[in-house]
A = this chain, B = another copy of it.
């Protein structure tokens, strides 16, 4: 293992093209306790893959409920597209370590190098690919901040699919550049709620100036998929098949940590619906299940203003506001939860995916909530030491890593910390602008407020 010197500031580890994984890791097949089943929102019956076909493409529906195959082959064409930006670098963050004066070794997996600037492309590519294979011509989805919408728009363009994206109206209006990015990739972008769906019309009739939310946008996209021939819905997080695709991150990281001659004591990721967390954590967690690395800790960093894991309730809940989706056993703040308008738009979702929720319940992982100002403090330090301006979402993982590294400084422990840098902040400079001008605030939720939102 190469030791840090005062001069060394960064070191990157790559895989060759042939070393890029050929299979995704399906943690559902190895979990000690499987997630509880999805249920039909009308009948309460357990859902089978076929029940998901009206919404999702068939292969994704099957992957969603696949609890037997530990490894799932990455289609040749998907893997080829991965090679356009993968392997992403595993980076030893010497600069950050030195700034913190910590004995901890800090590594990050840099998913910001994808052409769309985030890890979201890892799942957009296979979702678009499977749709194309199955004769689907149109895909639809929702997006908040826009990272997922951008990734899907590009993947759809590559496979010759038409993409229709419902973007949360307030983001559509306040952050036109992400919308423009989707349009550059040829997508049709509609502010949600809109008059194009029953769900949207109902909301606008009741509340003409509704600003939109991920929950309403999902309702609209799901309705469009259901009512349009050859059109399927796609999702950028929460669901198990999305986490499955994202395991490419952790599988690469595992090989790259070997190149670095280390193994992580703690794996840290920001938490919205759980897909980037699962993506980096699940491949390492299999060694916890097997007993090979029993002591590894897995830490989800969520916003204090949307604390589903630290302060939410484990229950059956909907994925969207209108109640179109299956009922899912998840840690949730309630599907009508209205999160504060923090800049980490990708973390403003009310629920956690079913796999992560089960793992949380079973004590295999832990969660940490971080307030907005701390996340931007962390992002600033990271930018100045590592040269990469991180997305507000990624700042949560950095803040959690810094907390742990500072604990190592206290204790003198030389822990190996690995976090996932999900994306860069080039499109989020308005958030940094607010931070730099001192106008950024924290949002704290009282227990009463959480209780009230859960019971909406």
Given the complex of chains A and B, what is the CA–CA distance between A113 and B116 in angstroms?
A: 12
The reply to whether A383 and B436 form a contact with Cβ atoms under 8 Å apart is no
Contact present for B429 and A177 (CB under 8 Å):
yes
Residues in chain B near residue A347, CB distance under 8 A: none
Is there contact, CB below 8 Å, between B387 and A115?
yes
Majority-rule SS of A interface residues = helix
Q: Is A257 an interface residue (CB 8 A)?
A: no
A12 at interface by CB-CB < 8 Å? yes
For A115, A427, A436, the residue with the greatest tally of chain B CB atoms inside 10 Å of its CB is: A115
In the complex, whether A380 has a CB less than 8 A from a CB of chain B is yes
In the bound assembly, the distance between CA atoms of A60 and B451 in angstroms comes to 64
The answer to whether A426 has its CB under 8 Å from any CB of chain B is yes
Interface residue A185 (Cβ < 8 Å from any Cβ of B): yes
Contact yes or no, B7 A176, CB < 8 A: no
Interface 0/1 of A148-191, CB less than 8 Å to B: 00000010011000000000000000001110110111100000
Do the beta carbons of B389 and A181 come within 8 Å of each other?
yes
Nearest CB of chain B from residue A187's CB, rounded to whole Å: 11
Q: Are B180 and A436 in contact (CB under 8 A)?
A: yes
| Interface flag for A388 (CB, 8 Å) | yes
Chain B CB within 8 A of A77 CB: yes
In the bound complex, how far is the Cα of B66 from the Cα of A68, in angstroms? 68
Judged by a CB distance under 8 angstroms, whether A33 is at the interface is no
Question: Chain B residue with minimal CB distance to A436?
Answer: B183
With an 8 A cutoff between CB atoms, is A9 at the interface?
Answer: yes
The residue of chain B having its C-beta at the shortest distance from the C-beta of A114 within the complex is B387
User: What's the Cα separation between A140 and B144 when bound, in Å?
Assistant: 39
CB neighbours (8 Å) of A183 from chain B are 432, 436
User: How many whole Å from A120's CB to the nearest CB in chain B?
Assistant: 13
Cβ of A175 to closest chain B Cβ, rounded Å: 10
A424 CB contacts on chain B under 8 angstroms: 426
**A351 interface contact, C-beta 8 A:** no
Q: How far is the CB of A372 from chain B (nearest CB, A)?
A: 16
CB <8 Å contact, A116 and B387: yes
Residues on the B chain within 8 Å of A178, using CB = 429
User: Does any Cβ of B come within 8 Å of A100's Cβ?
Assistant: no
Considering the complex, which residues of chain A in the window 1-48 have a beta carbon less than 8 Å from any beta carbon of chain B?
A: 7-10, 12, 14
User: Closest Cβ of chain B: how far from A186's Cβ, in Å?
Assistant: 6
Give 1 or 0 for each of A351-391: 1 = CB within 8 Å of chain B CB: 00000000000000000000000000000100110111100
Whole-angstrom CA separation of A80 from B388 in the bound complex: 17
Answer whether A184 and B115 are a contact pair too, CB < 8 Å, given A12-B84, A176-B433, A427-B429. no
Contact of A154 among B80, B84, B387, B430 (CB under 8 A): B387
Whole-angstrom distance between the alpha carbons of A14 and B83 in the complex? 12
Residue A117 at the chain B interface, CB threshold 8 Å: yes
- List, in ascending order, chain B residues with CB within 8 A of A388's CB: 115
Least distance between A191 CB and chain B CB atoms (Å): 15
CB of B81 within 8 A of CB of A177, answer no
* A185 contact set on B, CB distance < 8 A: 383-384
Interface residues as binary, A417-433 with B (CB distance below 8 Å gives 1, 0 otherwise): 00000001011011011
Of A177, A387, A432, most B-chain CB atoms within 10 Å: A387
Known contacts A387-B154, A388-B115; is-contact A184 B432 (Cβ 8 Å):
yes
Q: Determine the distance from Cα of A116 to Cα of B116 in the docked complex, in whole angstroms.
A: 15
Between-chain CB contacts (< 8 Å), 19 pairs:
A9-B81, A9-B84, A9-B158, A10-B84, A12-B83, A84-B387, A115-B386, A116-B387, A117-B426, A157-B384, A158-B387, A176-B429, A176-B433, A180-B429, A180-B436, A181-B432, A183-B432, A184-B383, A426-B426
- 5 tightest Cβ-Cβ pairs between the two chains A and B: A177-B429, A426-B426, A115-B387, A180-B433, A10-B84
- Please indicate which of the listed interface residues A9, A10, A426 has the most CB atoms of chain B within 10 Å of its own CB: A426
Q: Are A433 and B177 in contact (CB under 8 A)?
A: yes
Q: Which of A84, A383, A433 has the most CB of B within 10 A?
A: A84
A247→B55 CA distance, assembly (Å): 52
Residue numbers in B under 8 Å from A7 (CB-CB): 77, 80
